[in-house]
Amino acid sequence: MTSPPELWVVPLGTMAYARALELQRAAARARIAGEIAQDLLLLVEHPPVVTLGRSSRDAHLLASPALLAARGVEVFEVERGGDVTFHGPGQLVGYPIVDLKRHKQDLHWYLRQVEEALIRGLANYGIEGGRNPGYTGVWTQGRKIASIGVHARDWVTWHGFALNVSTDLAFFDLIVPCGISGVTMTSIERETGRPAPMEGVREAIAGAFGEVFALAPQTPPAAVEALTALDRAG
């Protein structure tokens, strides 16, 4: 039997958003050029940052620049789809660098697959995740636990998802999350009432991505070396 293609899972630890943004862009360029032979899943935590997607409206950023600065929150305008969102400590951010030419050349299908991977990963914690018709992301009991915003060129994706694990949910008061008025954000720890170590969440989500995309999750030295080289070049 032929082994399935690999999913190179690379935990980046805690990394500044600007650095991670350039790294994932470089990884996407390398994937498009064929310099990286496998799909990637970069997993990271960021210091507090608000990102504004292509659909963002000024009114959805509720805090003034002065208040954001006082809270230590950076702001970036980026090319991903979607509205405004927050990243910060205790949140697992994933950047899948996936060549859809090897899967299905359909971004709507891809978004549903990312949602499915998160839903399966959450099941490991006894959380019943689901979809909210008309919105992208993952919800549980009417509360939003994961946000998704992606971009693609030549059918290679970057940007991705943000899953709240032990996130300080008060940061979401600075914005209208994903532009959805009245939304309540939640986290794995809020839903379960117990700690959820980040390492375990990373493993659960990586495994679920492998299942959904029919890939074998691996962290080979070649993956780490490739990302290290791209990071240095940036």
CA distance 232 to 92: 24
Q: Do 151 and 77 form a contact (C-beta atoms < 8 A)? A: no
Could you tell me how far CA 92 lies from the centroid of its own chain?
Answer: 7
CA distance 24 to 18: 10
Q: Which of 27, 43, 111, 178 is catalytic?
A: 178
Task: Give the three-state DSSP class for 8.
Answer: strand
Q: Give me the long-range contacts of 223-231 (CB less than 8 A, separation at least 24).
A: 223/8, 223/9, 223/10, 223/38, 223/40, 224/10, 226/27, 226/30, 226/35, 226/36, 227/10, 227/12, 227/23, 227/27, 227/40, 227/42, 230/23, 230/26, 230/27, 230/30, 231/19, 231/23, 231/26
Look up 84 and say whether it is catalytic: no
CA distance 161 to 116: 12
List the catalytic residues.
178
